Amino acid sequence: MSSENLYHGDIPSSEAAITGAIIFLLLTALQLWRIITMRKWFGLAIVVGGLFKTLLILLAPILCAASIYMFLGRLICASGHACLSVIRINWLTKIFVRGDILCFLVQTVGAAKFDIILAGLGLQVGVFCVFALCAGVFHVRVSVSAPRFVNKVPTGLHLYAMLSSVYVCSLLATVRNVYQVVEYSQGNHGYLITHEWSTYALDVILMAVITAITLFWYVADTESKQEAGGCPLVDQGAGTSGD
């Protein structure tokens, strides 16, 4: 007796699956090339996430999210405005990565319980929303404060363009997480899980776009030596008041 087909007559496309795997392998190869040629090792999390997307799809989003968290931390450090971060920069990445790990553990431990898995997925959406809020607050603060200081944001950092890319990646990741919440809440006979197009449109394609966007992160000069704890900035008014 054949096993039940969850797609109820909508036979999964092997061609689409192979195409998706090839796309992620190509994007992962490009990421590895950028890492080696530009010697920026923060992209290794993205590479591992791309490989997991073709093998262990549950771990791929966690690594993707971790790479976004780490990149924001590097941007803030390199900007010279670390004190404008809502969360202390030494803890920023750790808090959100651990939050994602907690979400994954909740989903794993509660694999047989509907409400627990749904709670884990909802928590994942919440973590990303809080992260986006932290990025937005820093963006507003640095935009208002930077013109008043001699030591402005390094132009080679492309801070505002990079922050915009972080927002786009965060939005796409959040849409994917919301899709997972809705898909799971509908059960095994819901519309989303029984129609293959939704998996590609709201999961695979979104993850591919995120991976493609991160290819531009390597042009940012995040290696600038800045103090991680405070604001190494000098107010023009304060600097001339004693003259």
At 59 the pLDDT is: 67
**Residue 224's pLDDT band (cuts 50, 70, 90):** low
**Residue 243's pLDDT band (cuts 50, 70, 90):** very low
* Domain spans, the chain: 17-147+155-222
CA–CA gap between residue 224 and residue 187 (Å, rounded): 49
Whether the CB-CB separation of 46 and 218 falls below 8 Å is answered with: no
pTM: 0.82
Whether the pLDDT of residue 100 is over 90: the answer is no
The residue-averaged pLDDT of 134-141 equals: 93
Whether the pLDDT of residue 239 is over 50: the answer is no
